Amino acid sequence: MCSANKNDFLTMEIKYYKSGLRPVYREIEKDYSIFYAFQWDTGEFKEDMTYNHQIRMDPDGDVEELTKEEFDNYVEQLRKEITEVE
C-alpha cells in the first residue's frame, strides 16, 4: 500500500525571479525544484537547471525575486521588444 497522501502531490509552489535581465521561474516540489529560463530568441521558457545555483546561491548578487504580477509584466514587455525587432 502506498503511504503517500494525495495532498503530497498538490504542494507545488512557483517562485519568480529576474537573474540579471533574464526572467526565470522555479517550480518547487516537495523533494526537488525545476528552473525555467526565458529564451531571448523565442520569448518562451525552457527548462534550464543551470539556474539552480545562480538563483539559490546568488553568487553575483544580481537575482531579484518578483511577484507573479511583476514577472508577468516584465515578460510581456520583453516579448513585445522581441516582436518589434523581427
pLDDT for residue 2 is more than 50: no
DSSP code of residue 8: G
| Rg of the chain in Å (alpha carbons) | 15
pLDDT for residue 1 is more than 50: no
Structure-block grid coordinates of residue 4 = 503517500
What's the pLDDT tens digit per position in 5-34?
A: 555 556 789 999 999 999 999 999 988 999
- Per-residue confidence (pLDDT) for residue 59, from 0 to 100: 85
Q: 1: helix, coil or strand?
A: coil
Bin 58: left if φ > 0, else alpha if -120 < ψ < 50, else beta: left
Question: What residues does each domain of the chain span?
Answer: 13-80
What's the pLDDT tens digit per position in 33-69?
A: 999 999 999 999 999 999 999 999 988 899 999 999 9
- Per-residue confidence (pLDDT) for residue 86, from 0 to 100: 67
